[in-house]
Chains A and B, each alone.
Chain A
Amino acid sequence: MSARVELQHIYKTYFRHKWLLGKGERVPVLKDVSLIIPQDRVVGLVGESGCGKSTLCKVLLGIEKPTAGTVLVNGQDVSRLNSVGRKNLCRQMQVVYQDPYSSLDPRMTVRQILAEPLDIHRLHTDPKKREQFLKELLTSVGLAASYLDRYPHEFSGGQRQRICIARALALDPQILVADEPVSALDVSVQAQILNLLSDIKRTRQLSVLFVTHDLAVARFLCDDIAVMYQGRIVEQAPAQELLDRPLHPYTKLLLAAVPQVGKPVAEAVMAGKQNNNVTGCPFAPRCPQASDACRQDVPDLQEQTSAHYVACVQLSKEK
């Protein structure tokens, strides 16, 4: 099981300009994030809004440059690539976004949308073969081949998301980044798209980075889950292990808050403001078990049990 993608000690800091006079401020968004996406596995990234999930996706895709740290794709340092290398990288790595309404150009037909990446990379140039390829591509995501000449507005949200997935698969990538691909869809359609993603992953042997805020969805699709809190990964483990035996207090809090049929509303969920000036563990202000030790140093991600990593002072003490 070799690593497709390796993110090593990624930092990303945005600079926020102050209006008129006054100094701007630094906003650290990612703080020392390391993550491995193995071949043929789905890694889930879970956390609340503002924790840096989407920024991590952008760094991986090369849309944002990390302030520090390295991104390795197939062992290759992405920052050292020239333009040809970058183009080849794009072929290996594709993305599906959250909102299928704003991620398709309303003035392009489905054929144009799906053919654009092929034109750029000069693939399937023979008209007959291309036609055949596009039809197969569309049927592989559960849409009729006759839809090729329609416009995005003729489709519903779920169908649009299928088109987005087809576009991402057009180049036959090795890596798929999916940023909340089902949260904008109707409930009765979400399950269809999740099934489709699960099938695609199996048949195409993709490595997937799957961003979501829904732990139940992550349980269905992901092999591993990493939980992020304020720009840091606080817990990482195989999906079943993480959900059945969560160790970090924040993961427990998230799990308790997921509404489930037949489960009463979560008891006293701790309030907490995101605060970048906290020293020590970023979760300490909300943590019921926090002690003085927690407020001193930022805990490192340490292996607790096999393949189960947690960043918590309390747990390392018990060990």
Chain B
Amino acid sequence: MAQTPVLQVKDLHVDFTADKKVYPVLRGLSYSLEPGRVLAVVGESGSGKTVHALSILNLLPPAAKVSSGEILYNGQNLLTLSPRQLQTVRGQKIAMIFQDPSASLNPVLTIGEQLTETLIAHKRMTKVQACGEAAALLTRVGISDAQKRLNEYPFQFSGGMCQRVMIAMALALSPDILIADEPTTALDVTIQAQIIRLIKQLQQQTHMAVIFITHNLALASQVADEVLVLYGGLCMEHAPAAELFAHAQHPYTQGLLASLASLHERPEHLPAIAGQPPAAGEDFTGCPFAPRCVHATEKCRQTLPPLTQTGEHRVRCFWESAK
């Protein structure tokens, strides 16, 4: 476990500005990721999970700004790099796949053109070499008849196949870190299972670290070594996956786990969490979950609980039993 982390996020704050008002979307996120580990970042819409991923690659929209914090890749702060220096990291060392595969591919270029573009630009291959490499990549992600399919356009691929192409593209430069932002949300469950297997398999072969962003706790339990639960732009709980699912300590994580419908039982009522999650950038004092929490006290509404660590388990909660 004493490996040096490949990625360290330190007290990351991201603000959005609209109409001269500042909306904090991430309010101090810290974690470190070791090589070869899969970290699942679980959160609802507006929790800041995608914004955190975009800030790692410096892909934030113009309205958003990292207001403080550091993102260290092998000790190098990504936030202070010049665009040129960043170019050597982005795509080559840290690659990303997005939620909607068919929207992430260019519809007027063939799959082959899109795959070889990366290889020619970064690896200075000739076109012929790149084509061979591209076909090999497609085969690796489980697309048969790769040579022929290189000449096809994205519309000739199904959603699952498009996602495989995206994964092939992300792997083209053998990155150290793969960021997968809800890679299976747009896909059917059967296809989802295939893609998850593929990502896990490739991760084990290449020993890359993966940041897997999802809203689905069950899916996180299947892929991740560790799980970080985001709520209102804050880390609520962070622990090794087995530990988190066996002994969830934060009331939010517990509530989420309890509210999942089961395949084999039919309760009269699902134990739902009342209320709504806060919108991105919503203002609050104290714990963001306090308005929905059954254990909340006056203290929770007044002051933000600190992230306390016991062993490898970090929790942000005042509630006695959470410690």
Contact = CB atoms under 8 A, between A and B. Distances in A.
Interface of A: 48-49, 156-159, 186-192, 194-195, 198, 213-217, 219-220, 239-240, 243-244, 253-266, 269, 271, 273
B208 to A, nearest CB: 18
Contacts of B252: 188
Contacts of B260: 191, 216, 261
Nearest to A189: B276
A262 B217 CA distance: 11
Given A191-B261, A191-B270, 5 more contacts: A157-B45, A188-B277, A215-B263, A257-B193, A259-B196
Contacts of B273: 188, 191-192
Given A187-B216, A188-B256, A188-B259, A263 B222 contact: yes
B275 to A, nearest CB: 8
Interface string B6-34: 00000000000000000000000000000
Given A188-B44, A258-B263, A48 B192 contact: no
Contact of A219 (B158, B192, B223, B266): B266
Contacts of B192: 257, 259
Nearest to B272: A191
13 contacts: A156-B276, A158-B276, A159-B276, A186-B45, A188-B44, A188-B273, A188-B277, A191-B260, A194-B270, A216-B260, A255-B263, A259-B189, A263-B218
A262 B262 CA distance: 12
A258 B222 CA distance: 11
Nearest to A268: B197
B84 interface: no
Interface in B190-214: 190, 192-194, 196-197, 200
Given A195-B272, A265-B197, A254 B190 contact: yes
Contact of A259 (B142, B219, B265, B269): B219
Given A156-B279, A158-B276, A261 B257 contact: yes
B148 interface: no
Interface centre among B219, B279, B292 (most CB of A within 10 A): B219
A262 B248 CA distance: 14
B50 interface: no
B253 to A, nearest CB: 11
B227 to A, nearest CB: 11
Given A186-B45, A220-B266, A254 B221 contact: no
B70 to A, nearest CB: 30
Nearest to B268: A198
B99 to A, nearest CB: 14
B277 A219 contact: no
A261 B216 CA distance: 10
